[in-house]
Structure 1
Amino acid sequence: MEKSLVSIITPSFNSEKFIVEAIQSVQHQTYQHWEMIIVDDCSTDETVSIIEEIAIKDARVQLFKLEKNSGTGISRNAALAKANGKYIAFLDADDLWKPNKLAVQIEFMKVNNLPFTFSFYECINEAGQPLNRRIEAPLHLSYRQLFFCNYVGNLTGIYDVNYFGKIAISSIRKRQDWMMWLTVLKKIKFAQLVPESLAFYRIRDNSISASKFDLVKHNFSVYRSYHRLNLIGATLCMIGFLFTQLILKPRYSKTIKASI
């Protein structure tokens, strides 16, 4: 039986230090029926030339370039417009997948008749060294749980285009992934995840994810722009969000012995 095509959405910007590893982690997948659509957001380093060299040898790796620097959301939407797969998956240019990632998740979706799933993942530092931390999530994730905390690692999520269509991604600077998964959970109400780690999330030294203040600021903007809450409503939701971050979510972060 012919395998379903997976379209992998990858935005890139000045990613020359990491893009080769990211692409190789896709090329090394045991599930080989994929296309990797990379949209470069006007990189000023050698990112484009590196991708072009790889694409010459592997036609499944496709490069498109934006005419002006527009942000991650615009890049992802541009890649989404080019996607031909039944399934949409996401991998940023500095993150990595384990070799069995696609095979495990696609099989899990088919066996359980699911239009969406995600998985645990592990954290690495900028140099690619394990931080011995695995990020887990509720086995059955509800919309209400996701409302107060983004438990879905973007590098692990996969959805079925035949069920959802192509889900447009917000153009705001950060947290587009959270809004996308909220759109998914609004429709299906609950999500089941693969209870194993299938990817590595790279924590950059200067990343917004590393800054708690910036994280709070961008999450507040989600309550204001995506949920369209007034100032009081958004503030109350942020109190719920902070409670989740401080009390509930830490139990899903495990110390492990990690290896790449």
Structure 2
Amino acid sequence: MKNNLISIITPCYNSENYIAETILSVLNQTYAHWEWWIIDDCSHDNSVQKIKEFNDPRIHLIVSEENVGAAEARNIGIRNAKGRFITFIDSDDVWLPQFLEKAVNYLVDNKEELVYGSYKRHDENLEPYLEDFIAEDHITYDRILYNCPIPMLTSMYDTQRIGKVEIPEVDMREDYAMWIEILRKIPEARAIKESLAIYRIRKNSFSRNKFLILQKQFNVYSKYLGLSLFRSTYYTLHWAFNGMRKYEKLKFRGNR
């Protein structure tokens, strides 16, 4: 695995309350051959100071001089990345210890281009909140048009097989557009059913406000992909329905 360097990409904006837990989860990975590009996007809290407290030569902090948004911040990391494999973690989420090892081994052993895992869904205090999100396997381009079952938190792709793929400029749906671009290149993306991370659900998260991004999702179909009004509406309705199902509050049945 000597040449299998993993590049981790993290945009950071005002995450002083969470970034230390994120960093510790990366430092505790069983796979140690990684570099980490953290791009602070003009935070006005103590995020930068918190990051600098961790003295690890694998961590590279870039402090942006202007607010560029999460997509461009990730692209800055991608452009600097030297690893064969690229993966992402946001500045308030947590990986379980074997995420990197299991993801990279899956890609190498199975000669796949893109893999992603299931994840746990906890509240802001990392207490269980929803049932685990179980990753759906064999995602194709045609399948992803209905909704986005690929979580950025537990995804990893192989640049040796597909090259570097930057995040398109699609307002609030950038990660979805990136998976679309990757699935235009490959037959399918593969899933690891085991939960390998913890997604922190924050009360005021944009991703939880489906009505706010309903128009943005429609624009992906109509403007970015150039689909007809009928097809754009059809896929948007499917996306909305699947989104409600994904975040429906369920009774938690205990730790898994």
- Same fold flag (TM > 0.5): yes
The aligned length equals 255
TM superposition shift of 1:243: 4.5
TM superposition shift of 1:184: 1.4
Name the counterpart of 1:52. Answer: 52
Q: Is the 8 Å Cα contact of residues 113 and 189 (structure 2) preserved in structure 1?
A: no
Structure 2 unaligned blocks of 5 or more: none
Name the stretch that deviates more: 215-224 or 139-148: 215-224
Name the counterpart of 1:136. Answer: 134
Question: 2:24, 2:161 → 1: CA distance?
Answer: 29
Q: Is the 8 Å Cα contact of residues 8 and 89 (structure 1) preserved in structure 2?
A: yes
Question: 1:173/1:21 Cα in 2 relative to 1: closer, same or farther (>3 Å)?
Answer: farther
What is the CA RMSD across the aligned residues, in angstroms? 2.1
* Paired letter, 1:84: K
Name the stretch that deviates more: 6-15 or 112-121: 112-121
Matched position secondary structure for 2:120: strand
Matched position secondary structure for 2:14: coil
Name the counterpart of 1:119. Answer: 117
Name the counterpart of 2:103. Answer: 105
Name the counterpart of 1:257. Answer: 254
* Paired letter, 1:46: N
Q: Structure 1, residues 21-47: CA drift from partner, whole Å, max 9, x if none?
A: 111110000000001100010000000
TM superposition shift of 1:236: 2.7
Q: Is the 8 Å Cα contact of residues 12 and 40 (structure 2) preserved in structure 1?
A: yes
Name the counterpart of 2:11. Answer: 11
1:124-203, aligned counterparts within 5 Å?
A: 124-203=122-201
1:53-92, aligned counterparts within 5 Å?
A: 53-54=53-54, 57-92=55-90
* Paired letter, 1:200: I
Question: 1:52/1:100 Cα in 2 relative to 1: closer, same or farther (>3 Å)?
Answer: same
TM superposition shift of 1:229: 2.8
Name the stretch that deviates more: 1-10 or 86-95: 1-10
Name the counterpart of 1:221. Answer: 219
TM superposition shift of 1:211: 1.3
Question: 1:185/1:255 Cα in 2 relative to 1: closer, same or farther (>3 Å)?
Answer: farther
Taking only the aligned residue pairs, the percentage that are identical comes to 36
Q: Is the 8 Å Cα contact of residues 155 and 201 (structure 1) preserved in structure 2?
A: yes
Question: 1:47, 1:245 → 2: CA distance?
Answer: 31
Question: 2:149, 2:255 → 1: CA distance?
Answer: 20
Matched position secondary structure for 2:97: coil
Question: 1:74, 1:123 → 2: CA distance?
Answer: 26
Question: 2:9, 2:121 → 1: CA distance?
Answer: 20
Q: Structure 1, residues 41-73: CA drift from partner, whole Å, max 9, x if none?
A: 00000001111221xx20111100111111101
TM superposition shift of 1:3: 5.1
Matched position secondary structure for 1:189: coil
Name the counterpart of 1:31. Answer: 31
Q: Is the 8 Å Cα contact of residues 10 and 93 (structure 1) preserved in structure 2?
A: yes
Matched position secondary structure for 1:109: helix
Question: 1:218/1:255 Cα in 2 relative to 1: closer, same or farther (>3 Å)?
Answer: farther
Matched position secondary structure for 1:193: strand
Question: 2:93, 2:131 → 1: CA distance?
Answer: 15
Question: 1:110, 1:101 → 2: CA distance?
Answer: 14
